[in-house]
Amino acid sequence: MYFFLATLKIAFVLTIPKPIVDEATDEAIKQTAMKQKQRWEDDDTYCKGYILGGLSDTLYDVYEIKYANSTAKELWDDLESKYKTKDAGNKKFLISKLFDFRMENSKFVITQIHELQMIMNLIISEGHSLDESFQVSTIISKLPLAWKECRKELKQKKNAMTMQELVKYIQVEENSRNLDRLELEENKSSKALVIDHGSSSGTKRKLDGQASASTNRQDKPKKACWKNQKSEDTVDEDQVHPTPEMGEGGELRRSKRARIEKTYGPDFYQFLVEGSRNEGMHV
């Protein structure tokens, strides 16, 4: 605010008292003193108006009534005595914030370095001196736990680094770490896909084998057999009732083999190999 008032060339009313006109002096000197007094009063009014205009609405309502008949210097001194104490507390707060700052592994390091630089710049703007080597050392000491080896390497460097060199080094290192992490995640995903595909294929082959075996069993025709209860001999249905052979013209062709009548006795039973009936037919 003071810089703004100085630019308008009205800040002098805060340091120079109001001119006094001596009635006993020469008329010419008196006229000059009167002009100086008038100018001071005008500039004092402007200065007080600009100071009040820089306040919040709540403070403006308070101080506008309180200093309606007072000078700009009185208003300035009152505000300075109250809020300079807060500025001093703000300086202490910034310094403690710098000392308590801790970087986290879950955030980007370069982003946290920028936050740390902002705090240090605010401290410098408050009048404190922080040289570049102190700022670089502070940033290195506050690197997160995952950067332990990198922090040790930076501390062992013989030549002092500038802030620009440190920021560039951190950017390169962080980009390299991000690429390594992405590559590791891709490898894990690829292995998981291979394992999942292998187990799915095995299951499919197993199911296909079961289906084929089941189909073969279903396609196999059911055959009847004749069992001799006395001799325990078993004769297939094809042997008892051979399938007739077809000749030319679609006529049945007689088998050239000599037919021999076979008698197995009265105690034959017919059983189905895979049937649903539980009783046989007595021959």
- Let me know whether 76 and 109 are in one domain: no
Q: Read off the pLDDT band of 7 (50, 70, 90).
A: confident
Averaged pLDDT, 106-127: 89
Report yes or no: 103 and 143 within 8 Å, Cβ to Cβ: yes
Checking if the pLDDT of 138 tops 60, the result is yes
| Residue 275 confidence (pLDDT) | 47
| Residue 113 confidence (pLDDT) | 92
- Let me know whether 236 and 262 are in one domain: yes
- Let me know whether 81 and 110 are in one domain: no
Reading the block at residue 128, the tokens are: 């404190």
CA separation for the pair 266, 282 (Å, rounded)? 9
| Residue numbers of the domain that contains 158 | 101-183
Structural domain ending residue among the three candidates 89, 110, 140: 89
Mean pLDDT in the chain? 75
**Domain assignment of residue 80, yes or no:** yes
**Domain assignment of residue 212, yes or no:** no
| Residue 172 confidence (pLDDT) | 92
Reading the block at residue 241, the tokens are: 């009732």
Q: Read off the pLDDT band of 216 (50, 70, 90).
A: low
**Domain assignment of residue 202, yes or no:** no
Percent of the chain with pLDDT over 90: 15
Checking if the pLDDT of 276 tops 50, the result is no
- Let me know whether 106 and 83 are in one domain: no
- Tell me: the pLDDT tens digits for 39-95? 999 999 989 999 998 888 888 888 888 888 889 889 988 888 877 655 556 667 888
Averaged pLDDT, 18-40: 83
Checking if the pLDDT of 250 tops 80, the result is no
| Residue 187 confidence (pLDDT) | 78
Structural domain ending residue among the three candidates 163, 183, 203: 183
**Domain assignment of residue 189, yes or no:** no
| Residue 170 confidence (pLDDT) | 92
**Domain assignment of residue 205, yes or no:** no
**Domain assignment of residue 94, yes or no:** no
**Domain assignment of residue 209, yes or no:** no
- Let me know whether 33 and 71 are in one domain: yes
- Let me know whether 7 and 85 are in one domain: yes
| Residue 184 confidence (pLDDT) | 84
| Residue 159 confidence (pLDDT) | 75
Checking if the pLDDT of 164 tops 80, the result is yes
**Domain assignment of residue 213, yes or no:** no
Task: Tell me how far CA of residue 250 lies from CA of 195, 241, 242, 245, in angstroms.
Answer: 60, 20, 18, 10
- Tell me: the pLDDT tens digits for 175-205? 998 898 888 888 777 776 666 655 555 555 5
Checking if the pLDDT of 130 tops 70, the result is yes
| Residue 112 confidence (pLDDT) | 92
- Let me know whether 76 and 105 are in one domain: no
Checking if the pLDDT of 283 tops 50, the result is no
| Residue 116 confidence (pLDDT) | 92
Checking if the pLDDT of 271 tops 50, the result is no
| Sign of the four-CA dihedral 240, 245, 251, 253 | negative
Structural domain ending residue among the three candidates 135, 159, 183: 183
Please tell me the total count of domains within the chain.
Answer: 3
